[in-house]
Structure 1
Amino acid sequence: MSEKKTHWSVYATLTLLLVSCLALIVTQVLTANTATKLESTLFNIIQFSLSIAFSWILSKLITEQQFLESQKKFAIGAFRRIMEIERSLSRTQKYVTNAKLSKPSDFSAKLEAIDISIVNAQDTVKSSIADWTDIIGDEIEVTNEVRRLKKTRNYQTEIDSEINLPINDSSENIREEKIEKLQNSLPAEIRVSLAEEDKNPFEAGYEYLADICEEKKTLELTGFWDKSDSFTASPADLKRGDAVTVARGMTTSRNGVLLAYNDQDKWFGVITNPCADINVDYDSFVSVFEMFYEKEFLPKVFGGTPLKATVLEIFELDLELDRQYFRLEVNTPEQL
């Protein structure tokens, strides 16, 4: 609001200067035959001063507008990245919440500490968003309204389906039109980020895994050991045909991932995302994978039952990346 008031005051000043210049020119023309030499000189000095002031204020306004546009572009990019961090924190919190429900009591304090850290990170994200409200406050407000309308739509659809109420097409169409209108008013970067939130990766990932299993009658998983991460074993100690397991886990730099465990329950690598080709992110792949097998693959230390797997191949250590890749084979859900 203060920024708009400042702009209006500048515009008013420019208008006043312009009117003053025009009035001075008209006065100078009308008194050209009667004005003394001193009066003509004063007219020229005043006209020159007004021109200088007009040019200076106009150049300052243009420079300020260019700076604000540049700053706004940067702020929109930062806000888009903040939205991505929001989604990542939300997915991690869901994993921790699920782990807390099925954990041994020994890990309660550790998971609670992780949960508190996630909440603190979410507060930091909210604070970061607030920092940009002076520049892109309107865009943030519209984004929140779009999210609210979508959340209301999803909630209402769920309630209607549970109690078998008929769908009100009129109100639904009005809401969808409003959502579309608001989204179209947003910059392209924010529209893309909102579209990412709308994606339903579960159905696409589920069908992708089902197609692979139907075609090959088995499922192969690729993974790697990374020297810079906190793995407790190495795939170099394994050979083709060894029995291993796959379950959720955490490392120093990776949360909520699928890890490969040896027969001593030590994790020797992280499983990569086979659904990346169809734009399913890693967190969604882990959830899809468990939904595909209709069970949650918690490590034995959490009282879970990991998925059994067999080593197919151990690749040579990549000295440039300090990584060693491997391939595993797991049974399809029908074979379990």
Structure 2
Amino acid sequence: MHIVKAKDNYAGNYRCEVTYKDKFDSCSFELEVKEAEGSQNIDIRSAFKRSSEGQEDAGELDFSGLLKHRTRCKNTYDSETSHRSLVSGTTREPKQDEGPDVDVWEILKNARPDQYEKIAFMYGITDLRGLLKRMKKITRVEKKTEAFAKKLDPAYQADKGGKIRMVVDLADPTVELKWYKNGQEIRPSPKYIFEHKGTQRIMVINNCSLNDDAAYSVAAGDENCATELFVKELPVKIVKNVEPVKTTVNERIELECEVSEEGAQVKWMKNGVEIPTGVRSRYRVKCEGTKHFLVIDDASREDTGTYSLMATGGTSEARVQVDCM
């Protein structure tokens, strides 16, 4: 959270809440606003410049000038100190930057991808999306180490149900190697297959699931390298469409639709509105493998309408007509 031009009425208690899946955490702090003893005018526009004309990214803003300018300001708060001050509700006098000029852009270019956000926060860079976009265009020079001749790629991507191969090349093929997933050592199993090919050490992950979307690392002696695996969930497609139904009141209606994957999350809709399927609902849904059913035990004329099943990769709909006997 970045507050610009703080006012007296901004003071008070603040709370930050984080929710991820079934986990929840929060923290609170108090903000005290005091009148500044002095202000420093910075021409923000002079810190920007445009990329070279005629190139593919011509016309995009170059933030490097702003990064350098920001670290050269003499009266600045240390980011970690200011964060602690906000949390505790106290303020601290600005300190003079007596060290040499820091080129934040050079720090970013030489950092690992997992460090970008931390560095951006440390130096007050708020446009992280633009930062990452520019970092993707920079050619990284792979540094050789004593243990690795070639490290893991920065990231891997696999389709759900597919497999992925992670490869490192060792400078010393006799060194002991260990693989880790989220800090936990990985043991050989039908899921994880380890292969040796010359100086190459390969880990194959079979039948990738969303649970395999995680951070991985490999340790060779005292050295290690890390990567991330992103598992892409394929769209669930319609295999068999819903068929239209024409019936009379008090009859049982069962609509069926088949999709491409078991356990897929789907929605049943009536006239474009999601159908409630709670305990008190007159609609029932059931699933048998890849087949999904919508059941109405005692049809009435109000059940007439257009019914559809929505999946991530498509929609199937059909007309249901309920007439009097």
Please classify the TM superposition score into its range, dividing by the shorter chain length. Answer: under 0.3
Indicate the structure whose relative CO is greater, using CA pairs within 8 Å and at least 6 residues apart: 1
Question: Is the helix fraction higher in 1 or 2?
Answer: 1
TM-score between the two structures when normalised by the length of structure 2: 0.23
TM-score between the two structures when normalised by the length of structure 1: 0.23
Find the structure with the greater CA-based Rg.
Answer: 1
